[in-house]
Amino acid sequence: MGLDIDRYATIKSPIQEWDARYKIAGITTWSLMISSIQTLPMAMFALLAAASLLAVARLPLDFIWKGTRWVLFFLLPFLVIMPLSYPNGTELHFLGIPFAPAGFRLALLVVIKAVAIVMSAYGIFATCRFDVAMIALQHLKCPRVLVQMLIFTYRYIFVFVGELERRETAMKARGFVATTDAATLRILGNFVGTLLVRSFERTERIYKAMLSKGYQGEYHTMTEFRATTGDPTKLALAVAATLVLFLLDHYAGFAQAELGWY
């Protein structure tokens, strides 16, 4: 299971070496701007920029594909449903069914934007160790309690994935085959129950272990951030790209999405 999204965090590249605090601030601003785009050319520009970011980060193509394919899988039905259900402009027909080019354009815009945002987000998640990213979030004023819980949750996901795999093997060894029936629902409910019981019993031991190591409600880390002149420069570039995207999207005269947004 590909939970180690930060496996390429040690590659030598300007993106991996970018201070995590500046990187999160810059790429998050860029990603949020992508979500506001209403023109196809700018969506394509954002997608190309995101692809360039990942190329500079030297992330493998199959890794990027594994991350973006689920977005495509969930959004591809939009390319069929929206042109056929679009309220206006159904002057074309496809196999006898009214088809609205504006609806297809809107669906394409949604798909391209979603892929561009996921790819841009990989510029943070895949180029930075998870714990470093979390501490960077804390430096960016994310509440400490939430950051602590994120780190603990991430840590124990791996434990429970191992638990899940062992239990699935045990169930198969006892002849369990999942089918679409009530017995499977009951067994899955019991299965979830055993995970919860084991997690609940673990929490008391975990808390005592943490207390014995001096835990007093604060998470201490050896991660230190030392920004160089290149870090704010890269942030400035990200902000400039965001502004260019905004200005071209609104004032370059490209056709805006119709009836997609009020």
Partner 1 sequence: MHISDGILPVSITVAGFAIAAAATALTIRNVDPEEIPKISVITSAFFVASLVHFPVGPSSVHLILNGLAGIVLGKRAFAAILLGIVLQAYLFGHGGLSVIGVNTVMMGTGALCAYAIWLTRRRVKLPEHLSFGGRQFRIPSRDVLFGAIAGAVGIFVSGIILSLALISTGEAFFTNAKLILGIHIPLMLIEGAVSGACVGFLMRVKPSVLCDYQPGDGLVPSKH
Q: What part of residues 172-201 is at the interface with partner 1 (CB under 8 A)? A: 178-180, 182, 184-201
Locus of tokens 């841009």? 120
Nearest to 35 by CA among 144, 109, 99: 109
DSSP annotation of 92 reads E
Q: Tell me the closest approach of the beta carbon of residue 252 to partner 1, in angstroms.
A: 19
What is each CA distance from 253 to 31, 39, 245, 249, 250, in whole angstroms? 22, 9, 13, 8, 7
Name which of residues 23 to 42 contact partner 1 (CB under 8 A): 28, 31-32, 34-36
Name which of residues 45 to 64 contact partner 1 (CB under 8 A): none
The helix (H) or strand (E) run that includes residue 99 is strand 97-99
Q: Which stretch binds partner 1 (CB under 8 A): 48-56, 110-118, 223-231, 235-243?
A: 110-118
* Cα separation, 27 vs 92, whole angstroms: 40
Which is closer to partner 1, CB of 10 or CB of 216? Answer: 216
Q: State which of residues 11, 110, 140, 244 lies at the interface with partner 1 (CB under 8 A).
A: 110
Name which of residues 59 to 98 contact partner 1 (CB under 8 A): 67-68, 70-71, 74-75, 78, 81-82, 85-87
Q: State which of residues 55, 145, 237, 247 lies at the interface with partner 1 (CB under 8 A).
A: 145
Name which of residues 120 to 139 contact partner 1 (CB under 8 A): 120-122, 125, 130
Binding residues for partner 1, how many (CB under 8 A)? Answer: 89
CB neighbour burial string for 224-242, b if at least 16 within 10 angstroms, e if fewer: eeeeeeebeebbeebeebb
Give the torsion sign (CA, 244, 245, 250, 253).
positive
- Is residue 252 near partner 1 by the rule CB under 8 A? no
Q: Which stretch binds partner 1 (CB under 8 A): 11-19, 91-99, 102-110, 225-233?
A: 102-110
Q: Residue 174's Cα: distance from chain center in Å?
A: 37
